Amino acid sequence: MADDYEQKPALQNAAFVGLQSAGVGLVVSSVQNALETHGKGAAGVLTRTGGTIGFFAAMGAVFSYTEASIANARAKNDAWNGAAGGCAAGFLAGVRARSIPTAVASCAIIGGFIGMFDLTGRSLTGGVQDFEGPEQREERRLAFFKKPRPLPTE
């Protein structure tokens, strides 16, 4: 298995996912800013709730870097990589809350959920349809819809 493993660029993945997560953090920060009462206007997205943007970026980058680093060290693509990344990201969430028990619990919970998600095939539906090709998918789609009744011929 180690012979056919392809190394993952950990820093590149961390930067890419960190930027994507910062975008999600910007959306969340915008919603927080819109729901709060203050006189800062749109600048409140950066000044009042801007820490959310950095937190989301850090969570994404830490998860991605840890997952890729563990995969590279073990030379395997399996659920343990995602579990380790989720644990690191969860620990970061607990550190932000300034609580070691919260950090440990978040590590266990997020790591466990992501590990289980990876273990079950990285699918929320969990069905065979995730592994079928385009022909089988089209066949299943056509079988789903009702067939019109044939028109009576006179």
Report helix, strand or coil for 153.
coil
- What residues does each domain of the chain span? 10-122
**Packing angle of the helix pair 51-74, 10-35 (nearest 10 deg):** 160
CA distance linking residue 135 with residue 33, whole number of Å: 47
**pTM of the full structure:** 0.76
Walk along the chain (154 residues) and give the pLDDT tens digit of each residue.
Answer: 446 888 999 999 999 999 999 999 999 999 988 888 878 778 888 888 889 999 999 999 999 999 999 999 999 988 999 999 999 999 999 999 999 999 999 999 999 999 999 888 777 766 655 667 788 878 888 888 877 788 888 7
Asked whether the beta carbons of 22 and 34 are under 8 A apart, the reply is: no
Alpha-carbon dihedral angle through residues 43, 45, 49, 54, given to the nearest 10 degrees: -120
